[in-house]
Amino acid sequence: MAGARWNPERIAYGGDWSPEQWPEADWPAQLTALRDAGITTVTLGVFAWARLQPHPDVWDFAWFDRALDLLHREGFDVVLATPTASPPVWFSRAHPSSRVVDRDGVRLELGSRQNWCPSSPDYRRHASEVTRRLAERYADHPAVVLWHVNNELGCHNAECFCEVSAEAFRTWLRGRHETIDELNRAWGTAFWSQRYGSFDEIGAPARSTTFLNPAQVLDWRRFCSHELRRVLQLERDTLRSAGAKAPVTTNFMMGMGHAPGALDYHQWAQDVDVVSNDHYEVGWGDDEARLHEQVAWAGDLSRGVAEGRPWFLMEHAPSGVNWQRVNRSRRPGELRLATLGHVARGADAACFFQLVQSVAGAEKFHSAVIPHAGTQSRTYREASALGRELATLSEVVGSTVEASAALLFDWESAWAMQDPTMPSNDLQPMDTIRAAHRALGRLGTTADVVHPDRDLAGYRLLVVPSLYLCDDALAARLEGYARAGAEVVVTFFSGIADRDDRVRTGGYPGAFRGLLGVRSDAFTPLLPGIVVRAGGSDVGELAARTWTEEVEVRDAVVVARYDDGPWPGAAVLTRRAVGRGGAWYLASQLDVAGWRAVLARVGAELDARTPVPELSPRDGLLTDEVVEAIARGDLELVRRTGSGRAWTFALNHGTDPVRVRLPGEDLLTGRCAQVVELGAGGAAVVRAEVAGAV
Ligand code: GAL
C-alpha cells in the first residue's frame, strides 16, 4: 500500500446516501436526522453517473456541488465514490460491446447494474474520464476524507467471455508463460489432446462438452481478478494524477457466505491506502455458522488482508437485506453486537448500505438507518443508540488486534479446489478453514487469516487447512517456524499441487510429507451423511466426515485413530516433534466440537512451554463460566492494543448472563469495575493499562 494515510480521529459511522433519489427539498431533513443518529460519515456518488453525465457531452455537477457543500456545512465527512459501478444507459447503447457476455455466449441486457466488461476499452476510457472530472472538481473539497473507487468491483461482472476478454486473456497468458511450450507444460495439455500450437488458439474457458482443463480455468480466474484489479488501478491512478489527496480505497467483498469469492484481495490490498470490506451475514443464524461467527470470520480475514492494520467496514446492513430468499429484520440488539464485533476485530469504521431507504428500485426493501417508517422506528432508534456508543470508542482507533494464531488462506488454492474434478465435490474450499476458525473462536483464540507468504514468525499456532495448492517453499518455512517453537497443524488435502495445479508425486500430502512424518497413497472421501467414529485419549471422541485416508506414520506420534469406517485403527491425528515445536497432521474433516478438542490439545502443548494469551488462563479471566460461555459460542472476547493500553471487547451473543473478570473502565458506560456483568446481548469494551503492550 502506498499513498495517503487514513488517520481517523473517531470511528467513522455512516453509509451510502443517494441524494439523486430524493427531491432536493428533502435533503436537509434527512441529514439532520442522520446527524441526530450520530452519523459522522457519508458515502456519496456510488451510482450517480447517469445524473452527473446525463448525455455524452453534458455534465451536471451543480447538484453534486450542493450535496457536498451541504454535507460539509452539516459537519459530515465524505467518502467520495467514483460513480463507475454502473454506466449510463446511453453509454451501454452506444458501446454494446462493453456489455458482459456470459459463459453461454449470451450478451447480457441492460436494466440491472454493473453490466460492463472489465477489459472493455470503451468502459475504461469513459470510467476514467468521469473519475478525472470528479477528482479535478473535488480534490480540495474540505469534506472529502476518502476516495472510494467504483463499487464492489466484480460483484456481478467478475467474468466476461467476450472476444475482447479472450484477447486480453491471451495477452496475459503470454506475460505469465512466455512461450507456448511452457504453457503446454503448465497446463498439462498432453492430456486429452489439448496441445496448443500458439497463444492465438487459446480461448476463454466458456461452456464446453465436459470438464475443462483445471489449470486453464485457474489461470482464467487469476486473469479475471487481474483484469478487474486493473480497473481499480486505473481509477486510483486517475484520481491521483487529477490531484486527489485523500486516501483511496475500494470496497472488497470478503467473508460473505461460504464461497471464497472471485478476487484475490491479498493482491488487491497492495493498491489501496486502506482496506475496506462489505459484509452481510447470510441465513438466519440458527444454522451451523452463527451470525456473529460470520462477522468474526469476515473481520479476521479483512484484518489479515490489511496485514494487521485497521480497516474500514464500508457496508453492512442496518437491519434486513432484500436479496436472500427470506429477508428478516435484525433482532433487537443484533445490530449493536454485529457492529461492535467488526470494531473488535480491527474495523475503525462502521458504515451501512444504506442511510435512507429507497422507495423504488430493486433495493427498496433493503433496510436503512432511516427506513420507510422514518425516525419513529426501531432501526433508527437502535442505530442512534449505536452512534452514541461508537462515539465513546474514539481512543480505540488506530490500535491493533491481538492474535496468537494464524489460519493460512490463499484465494488461488480455494479457486483450484472449486474445480469439479476433485476427489470429492462435497469438500468445498472454505469448509476446513471455516470450521477451524469457529473452533479457535470457541477456545477464545483470535486468529489472523493470512496469506501463506506472509511472515508468520509472530504466531504460536499456525493452521494450514486444506491448502490444496502451495509453493514448494512453504513446507520448509513452516518447518522453521515449528523449530522456533510454533505448533503447526496441517490438514488433509494440503500441499497436493504446485502453483500450476500439477500434483506432487510420491504420496500425499505432497509438499508436507517430510514436515509431518506421514504419507498416504490414496484418498477415501465419504458419502454425505456418513460419519466415521474416531478418537484418542487426549482428544476424546471425534466424528470424522467427508474425508478419510489410510495414513502411514513414518516419523510421528499417533494422537488419535479411526475406530471404524474404511480404515479402522489407522491414524487420524499425528504429531511430529520439530525443534521446540511440532507439526500435526489431521486426516479427516471434523465438526466444530472435534476441531475444538484437537486445537485444545495443540494449545496444551503450547501452554506447557510458553503461555499463549488466549489459550491459557490469564489474569483470572478464563473462569469456568467464561470458558463455557466461549465454548458454547455465546461469549466473544477480543483484545485490541496500542499506546500501552488494551481494550477487551466482551460481547455476549447468548441468552444467559455471564460475569467476566475484566478490571478497568468500560468505555460504553464509563463505569470502572473488576467484573463486568453481561446480560443477554450485553457488551462491554474495557480499557486496561498493559505493561509491555505497544
Ligand atoms: C452491496 C452493494 C450495495 C447494495 C448492497 C445491498 O453488494 O455494494 O450497492 O446493493 O449490497 O445489500
| C-beta 365 within 6 A of ligand 1 | no
Average pLDDT value for residue range 85-93: 98
Is residue 80 predicted with pLDDT exceeding 50? yes
On the question of pLDDT at 672 being above 90, the answer is: yes
| 405-408 and 447-450 beta bridge pairing | parallel
Q: What is d(CA 162, CA 160) in angstroms, rounded to the nearest whole number?
A: 6
- The pLDDT of residue 5 is above 90: no
Distances (CA, A) of 65 to 240, 340, 376: 20, 34, 31
pLDDT class of 693 with cuts at 50, 70, 90: very low
Question: For residues 263 and 198, is the Cβ–Cβ distance under 8 A?
Answer: no
Does 151 sit in the ligand 1 pocket, CB within 6 Å? yes
For residues 112-140, average pLDDT: 98
Cα 528 from Cα 177, distance rounded (Å): 40
From the list 279, 273, 249, the residue with the least C-alpha distance to 261 is 279
pLDDT of residue 62 exceeding 70: yes
CA of 561 to the centre of ligand 1 (A): 47
Give the CA distances from residue 96 to residues 51, 56, 109, 110, 116, in Å, rounded to whole numbers and listed in that order: 21, 15, 10, 10, 9
pLDDT of residue 11: 98
**Is the pLDDT reported for residue 619 higher than 70?**
no
What's the rounded Cα separation, in Å, for the pair 217 and 225? 12
309 Cβ contact list (under 8 Å, min separation 6): 274, 275, 303, 346, 400
DSSP-assigned beta bridge partners for residue 684: 650
Confidence of residue 286 (pLDDT cuts 50, 70, 90): low
Tell me what the pLDDT averaged over the chain comes to.
Answer: 96
Distance CA 224, CA 172 (A): 10
User: Does residue 302 carry a pLDDT above 60?
Assistant: yes
Pocket perturbation via mutation, ligand 1, pick of 155, 253, 353 by most ligand atoms within 8 A of CB: 353
Q: Residue type at 424? A: S
Best probe residue, ligand 1, of 17, 112, 151, 152 (max atoms within 8 Å of C-beta): 152
Element (H, E) at 384: helix 378-390
What residues contact residue 600 under an 8 Å CB cut-off, 6+ apart? Answer: 443, 539
281 CB near ligand 1 (under 6 Å): no
pLDDT at residue 271 above 80?
Answer: yes
Q: Which residues are catalytic?
A: 152, 315
Number of Cβ atoms within 10 Å of the Cβ of 401: 21
> Which residue pairs, CB below 8 angstroms and at least 24 apart, start in 282-290?
282/256, 282/257, 282/258, 282/324, 283/324, 284/328, 289/434, 289/438, 290/633, 290/653
Set of cell numbers at residue 85: 459501478
Per-residue pLDDT, averaged over 95-117, amounts to 98
The DSSP bridge partners found for residue 518 are 553
pLDDT tens, position by position, 556-568: 999 999 999 999 9
Is the pLDDT at 502 greater than 80? The verdict is: yes
**Residues contacting 381, CB < 8 A, separation 6+:** none
Shortest-distance Cα residue to atom 7 of ligand 1: 152
> What's the CA gap between 312 and 277, in Å, rounded?
6
> Which residue's CA is the nearest one to ligand 1's atom 2?
152
Mapped to the 3 state alphabet, what secondary structure does 265-295 carry?
A: HHHHHHHCCCCEEECCCCCCCCCCCCHHHHH
Distance CA 46, CA 32 (A): 21
Q: What is the DSSP letter of 328?
A: P
Return the closest-CA partner of residue 300 out of 289, 290, 315, 311. 311
The burial class, CB within 10 Å (0-12 / 13-18 / 19+), for 552 is: middle
Q: What is each CA distance from 335 to 372, 391, 476, 629, 648, in whole angstroms?
A: 18, 16, 44, 21, 19
How does DSSP classify residue 607?
A: H
- Determine the residue type at 617: P
Task: Provide the phi-psi class of 470: left if phi over 0, else alpha when psi is between -120 and 50, else beta.
Answer: beta
Cα separation of 103 and 206, whole Å?
5
Q: φ, ψ for residue 449 (rounded to 5)? A: -100, 110
Give pLDDT, residue 531: 98
Ligand 1 in reach of 395 Cβ (< 6 A): no
User: What 3-state class would DSSP assign to 461?
Assistant: strand
Q: Is 366 in the pocket of ligand 1 (CB under 6 A)?
A: yes
pLDDT confidence bin for 164, thresholds 50/70/90: very high
Mean pLDDT of 638-642: 95
Cβ of 519 closer than 6 Å to ligand 1, yes or no, is no
DSSP 61-120: -HHHHHHHHHHHHTT-EEEEEPSTTS--HHHHHH-GGGS-B-TTSPBPPSSSS----TT-
Using N-to-C axis directions, what is the helix angle for 592-609 and 431-441, rounded to 10°? Answer: 60
Asked if residue 452 lies in contact with residue 307, where contact means CB atoms within 8 angstroms, the answer is no
Q: How many helical (H) and strand (E) elements, i.e. helices and strands, does the chain have? A: 18, 27
What are 531-575's pLDDT values in tens digits? 999 999 999 999 999 999 999 999 999 999 999 999 999 999 999
Report whether pLDDT(694) > 70: no
**pTM for the predicted model, two decimal places:** 0.97
Atom number of ligand 1 nearest to Cα 251: 8
Q: Whose CA is nearest to atom 8 of ligand 1?
A: 152
Query: Ligand 1 centroid vs 147 CA: distance in angstroms?
Result: 18
Distance CA 425, CA 414 (A): 13
* Start-to-end C-alpha separation, the chain: 22
Check pLDDT > 80 for residue 134.
Answer: yes
Q: What DSSP assignment string belongs to 399-424? A: -EE---EEEE--HHHHHHHTSTTSS-
Task: Determine the pLDDT at residue 692.
Answer: 47
Q: Average pLDDT for residues 380-400, to the nearest whole number?
A: 98
Hey, what amino acid is at 256? M
Q: How confident is the model at residue 287 (pLDDT cuts 50, 70, 90)?
A: low
- C-alpha cell, 288: 451451523
